[in-house]
Each structure stands twice: as C-alpha cells, then as structure tokens.
Amino acid sequence: MHERLSIRRFRECDMDAILRIEHASFRKDAYDRNLFADFHHKCGDLFLVAEGTERICGYMLTCTRSREGTQTAELVSVAVAPEARREGVASALMDSTLHRLRRRGAKRLSLTVKVTNRHAVAFYRKYGFVQIRVLPRYYEDGKDAWLMVRDLA
Ligand SMILES: CC(C)(COP(=O)(O)OP(=O)(O)OC[C@H]1O[C@@H](n2cnc3c(N)ncnc32)[C@H](O)[C@@H]1OP(=O)(O)O)[C@@H](O)C(=O)NCCC(=O)NCCS
C-alpha cells in the first residue's frame, strides 16, 4: 500500500494534476477539462482523488442514478499516474467508492472497459466485478467493451 495516501473529494485546484494523469493514461482518448468539470458538477461527491505526500496520484469518478426507487452507480473512469501503479492507489480509491456507495444505499456498480485492457480487467475482477457481456465496437477506435457489474449488497 502506498504510504500516507489519503482519499478525498476532487477540488477545482486538482484539475491540472488530473489532466496530466488522464493524458498519460489515455492519450488521444483522454477526457478534457470541460468534461471533467461537467462530471464534477453532476457527480461531485463521487469524484475522488488519491493524494500522496507530495501530489495527486490518481482519481476515480463514479455517478449514481435512481430508477423506480433503486439507486445504481456507474464507474465512469479511473486512472493512476504511471509511476504510482501497483502500489494500491486504485484499490484505495475503489474501497472508498464502495464504502460511499453502500452508505447511500446503492445496489449495483457497473462499468465498461476495453476487452484489451488486461490490467484494468484484472483489477475489476479482483474487486468482484463479473463480465456480463461484450458490447461490440463500443469505443471510437472500434474496440469492443466488457460490461462488468458488481452487486453492493
Ligand atoms: C488499472 C489501474 C487503474 C490500476 O491501478 P493501480 O493503482 O496500479 O492498481 P492497484 O495497485 O490498486 O492494483 C490492485 C489489483 O489490480 C490488479 N492489477 C492492477 N494492475 C495490474 C497489472 N498491471 N497487471 C495485472 N494485474 C493488475 C491486481 O490484481 C492488483 O492486485 P495485486 O497488486 O495485489 O496483484 C491502472 O493500471 C491505470 O491507471 N491504468 C490506465 C488507466 C486505465 O486503464 N483505467 C481503466 C479504464 S476502464
């Protein structure tokens, strides 16, 4: 586990650090400032950052929705700075997200991930997400996605 890591809500002053991590992680598919600002507005209390001793080293963004009285959530994105990977940063973000979702009474957390993104799929499987089905040509580059789901009960 990353030493002295704290998980807290995103603040506007974190934006540049998040954009650096985003670009290093997703290159041409990276979300831009406007999209993050939009998500902050819509899903702010589940837009979390991981802060190490010196800098922000990762983020996780989740949005909830309510339909017919049942609250569900979608994990929109997660990324960890390349130099901070495999130190438990994404795990700390996921633990905090799951805790916050349970506290709100959300029933289910879903996500989509490129079928070729082995590291992310391994991470989600470790957290009990199950591959439900393939979404063909889901991404702009024509790659397929896995729809993955985890119950929160
Ligand atoms: C996927 C990602 C968020 C994982 O972040 P991380 O902080 O390195 O993950 P953790 O250290 O918390 O790893 C937790 C578990 O995930 C799995 N995992 C993470 N990275 C892995 C890798 N490179 N290879 C295999 N398994 C991996 C392992 O099971 C690991 O547990 P272990 O270290 O005890 O074996 C990170 O690799 C990343 O930012 N990738 C680029 C962005 C991305 O693809 N995001 C997902 C988009 S859907």
Which amino acid residue places its CA nearest to atom 27 of ligand 1?
Answer: 119
Ligand 1 contact via 139 beta carbon (within 6 Å): no
Distance 2 CA to ligand 1 centre (A): 13
Which amino acid residue places its CA nearest to atom 4 of ligand 1?
Answer: 90
Distance 57 CA to ligand 1 centre (A): 13
Of the candidates 79, 32, 28, the one whose C-alpha atom is nearest the C-alpha of residue 56 is: 79
Question: According to the model, what pLDDT value does residue 3 have?
Answer: 67
Question: According to the model, what pLDDT value does residue 119 have?
Answer: 97
Which amino acid residue places its CA nearest to atom 33 of ligand 1?
Answer: 86
Condensed to tens digits (0 to 9), the pLDDT of residues 123-144 reads 999 999 999 999 999 999 999 9
Q: How far is C-alpha 68 from the chain's CA centre? A: 25
Strand partners, 73: 64, 109
Contact, 22 vs 57, CB < 8 A?
no
* 3-state SS class at 138: coil
Segment 86-110 mean pLDDT: 97
Any idea what DSSP says for residue 106?
Answer: -
* H helix or E strand, kind and range, residue 58: strand 56-67
CA pair distance 110, 141, nearest whole angstrom: 22
Q: Is residue 42 scored above 60 in pLDDT? A: yes
Q: Is residue 2 scored above 70 in pLDDT? A: no
